[in-house]
Amino acid sequence: MNIRKLFSYVLLILFLGVVQILFLKNLALFGIAFVFIYLLGILILPISMKTTPLLFIAFGLGFMVDIFYETIGMHTAAATLLAFVRSLWLRAISPTGGYVDAEEPSLNEMGLVWFITYSFPLIFIYCLVFFSADQWGTSGFLGVLNKSFFSSILTCLLAILVQLLFFKRRRGI
């Protein structure tokens, strides 16, 4: 990874974090569909990245969002879990022959269907952990499931949209 690439990752994560904190904090479609777009920053990191730095990045990012959301620990726990499951999941859904010429698990490199199979379960696990922690003992599991499902759909949609709009398309075939 060259320095320019590294810089663009840092910038992307910061940008997504700021958008999450300032604009998406009180956004909830129909009261159930939340957006956790900052997760895209964890999802998009290179495939070859080791789990250890990934865990630290996710932990730090979750903690930053937590401080602003006033939900200390909840985003952190969920994001750390997401980072850990990510490497397992990447191995599980690797195409035959491995990730040969793909560097990052993004929409442009891997295609729409692959990206959805990659990101949706991860975001769903994240939402499940987050909303369970949030509603601990106050409401039934159905409410948690409901919120998680629609939040992951919305987040997934927005993640795709952000990549379509702001990411550079790969040149040629």
Partner 1 sequence: MLRILQFLYRIRAFILFVFLEVMAVWMIVSNNSPQGGAFFNSSNALVGSVLKQQADIVQFFSLAEANEALTAENAAILQQLSFLQAKPDSITFQLDSTFASTYQFRGARVIGSSLRFSQNYLTINKGSKDGIKPGMGIFNPEGVVGRVKAVSENYAVAFSLLNTGQLTSSKIKSTNDFATVQWDGQNSTEAKLLFVPRHVKVQEGDTVITSGSNSVFPEGILIGVISKISPDEKDPNYLDLTVKLSTDFNKVNYVYLVENTRFNELDSLYRQSEISNEY
Which residues form the interface with partner 1 (CB under 8 A)?
Answer: 21-22, 25-26, 28, 31, 34, 50-52, 55-56, 59, 62-63, 66-74, 76-77, 80-81, 83-84, 87, 133-135, 138-139, 143
Minimum distance, C-beta of residue 115 to partner 1, in the bound complex (Å):
24
Minimum distance, C-beta of residue 154 to partner 1, in the bound complex (Å):
13
Give the tokens for residue 115.
Answer: 């990206």
Sign of the alpha-carbon torsion through 78, 28, 124, 86:
negative
Q: How far is CA 83 from the centre of its chain?
A: 9
**Which lies closer to partner 1 via its Cβ, residue 34 or residue 115?**
34
DSSP class per residue in 104-167:
S--HHHH-HHHHHHHHHHHHHHHHHHHHHHHTTTTS-HHHHHHHHHHHHHHHHHHHHHHHHHHS
**Which lies closer to partner 1 via its Cβ, residue 51 or residue 94?**
51
Minimum distance, C-beta of residue 13 to partner 1, in the bound complex (Å):
17
Does residue 124 contact residue 11 with C-beta atoms inside 8 Å?
A: no
**Which lies closer to partner 1 via its Cβ, residue 119 or residue 151?**
151
**Which lies closer to partner 1 via its Cβ, residue 59 or residue 99?**
59
